[in-house]
Amino acid sequence: MQLMREGVLAKPYGIHILLGGLYVNTKRAFWLPCVIYSTLVVFDILFGIFSVAYTVVEIWSDNVALSLKQFNYVLLRLLTLGLVMTGLFRTQNMDELFPILVRFQYTTPLNTEQEAVIEKYDKQFWKVFNYFKYLMYIVNTVWIAILPLVEITLNEVVLHDRNTTRKFGQYIPVLAWHPYDPDIFLSFLIQYSLQVFFTFLLCHTAVGITASYIDVAIFLISSFKVLKISLQDIEQRALYLYCASTHRSRVAVADSSRVADDPIYQRHLLGCLREDLNHQLLLRR
């Protein structure tokens, strides 16, 4: 957003131009963060497929109890992630991302009112992604870190089944080090702490990259929109000057492309461009 305040036109990378073009064509903003976030659960989906296959193998090997436990765990986690993704992008906070893209039509504030609008949308933008980040923190911490610990604790304390605990711990879909070894408390504590730490680190990094990526995309979309509006305005002014100097009807010259090769029109167009550039330089001083 700092780039927006300074009015600096960033380098138009191909992927950002593509995103801007897709946005202009679809007039939708929800798919952009949704597609990026969906890549964060690819490993969960792959793990779900692997777990289903593994469950079938375990059932054939008569280890039905452990297989069903693992299968239910995977289904619960994938279902929760699906509900979170569905709910997240239909929440009121995500709706606030759409007016940011649609209404932002300038890169340099010309007065206090425009500065206030920029600040407002800046706060809305980061409000959305802070909500996004905290939700990822909660979901991933519960399903990746806390639930396996509860499962192991229940097996140890309630069922007194150390063998099941150890075997189930080998197939828990953890993020970092596994299997858990509850026989060695210090090792277990270190593994669990590292897992929670890397879970938070992954969430923070993923959301930070996503927010920065969309931030740049928003800026480029708004910048190209401003540029297009400015060029259209310059062409219209040049066309009016051309009609006035040649005593031609504005209705007769309906489009600037009809007189693009006319030296008189080109002279007026260059004059309007020079006037606009001088105005922009004056604003920068």
Shared domain for 218 and 256, answered yes or no, is: no
State whether 149 and 208 are in the same domain.
yes
- Helix 185-246 vs helix 14-26: angle between axes, to the nearest 10 degrees? 70
Residues 139 and 177 in one domain: yes
Contact between residue 221 and residue 214 where contact means Cβ atoms under 8 Å apart: no
* Pairwise CA distance, residues 265 & 145, whole Å: 69
DSSP sequence for 49-86 = HHHHHHHHHHHHTT-HHHHHHHHHHHHHHHHHHHHHHH
How much is the pLDDT for 171? Answer: 44
Number of folded domains in the chain? 2
Q: What's the pLDDT band for 189 if we cut at 50, 70, 90?
A: low
Residues 203 and 249 in one domain: no
pLDDT at 243: 77
Closest CA to 32 of 252, 215, 253: 215
Domain co-membership, 169 together with 268: no
pLDDT at 155 (0 to 100): 55
Res 124 pLDDT > 60: yes
Select the highest-mean-pLDDT range: 58-62, 95-99, 143-147, 157-161: 143-147
Tell which of 207, 226, 245 closes a domain. Answer: 226
Lowest mean pLDDT among 19-23, 87-91, 183-187: 19-23
Exposure letters 222-233 (e unless 16+ CB within 10 A, then b): bbbbbeeeeeee
Both structure tokens of 38: 């969906």
How far apart, in whole angstroms, are the C-alpha atoms of residue 234 and residue 258? 16
Given this model, what pLDDT does residue 270 score? 79
pLDDT computed for residue 213 by the predictor: 62
pLDDT value at position 84? Answer: 52
At residue 245, the pLDDT reads: 75
Structural domain that includes position 273: 235-284
Distance CA(268)–CA(266), nearest Å, equals 5
Band (pLDDT 50/70/90 cuts) for residue 217 is low
Considering 226, 252, 272, which residue would you say is the last residue of a domain?
Answer: 226
**Cα(211)–Cα(128) distance, rounded to whole angstroms?**
9
- 156/250 same-domain check: no
Give the residue from 216, 212, 160, 169 showing the smallest Cα distance to 191: 169
Q: Is the pLDDT of residue 185 over 50?
A: yes
- Max mean pLDDT among 3-12, 213-222, 273-282 falls in 273-282
66 and 132: one domain?
yes
166's enclosing H/E stretch is helix 162-169
On average, the pLDDT of the chain sits at 58
| Of residues 216 and 182, more confidently modeled | 216
Predicted pLDDT of residue 15: 34
Contact present, 156 and 162 (Cβ < 8 Å): yes
Nearest CA-CA partner of 191 in 200, 178, 202: 178
Which of 91, 96, 98 lies closest to 31, judged by CA?
98
Is 112 a residue whose pLDDT tops 50?
yes
206 and 124 in a single domain? The answer is yes
Q: Are 141 and 83 in contact (CB under 8 A)?
A: no
For helices 14-26 and 31-38, angle between their N-to-C axes, nearest 10 degrees: 130
What confidence score (pLDDT) does residue 265 get?
78
Percent of the chain with pLDDT over 90: 0
In this structure, the answer to whether residues 48 and 135 fall within a common structural domain is yes
Terminal-residue alpha carbon distance, the chain: 21
- pLDDT tens string 220-260: 655 555 566 667 777 777 877 777 777 666 555 556 666 77
Are 204 and 135 contacting, i.e. CB atoms less than 8 angstroms apart?
no
How far is residue 118's CA from residue 104's CA, in Å, rounded to a whole number? 8
Examine the domain organization and report whether 202 and 253 are in the same domain.
no
Are 42 and 159 in a shared domain?
yes
Higher pLDDT, 242 or 174: 242
Judgement on whether residues 140 and 254 belong to the same structural domain of the protein: no
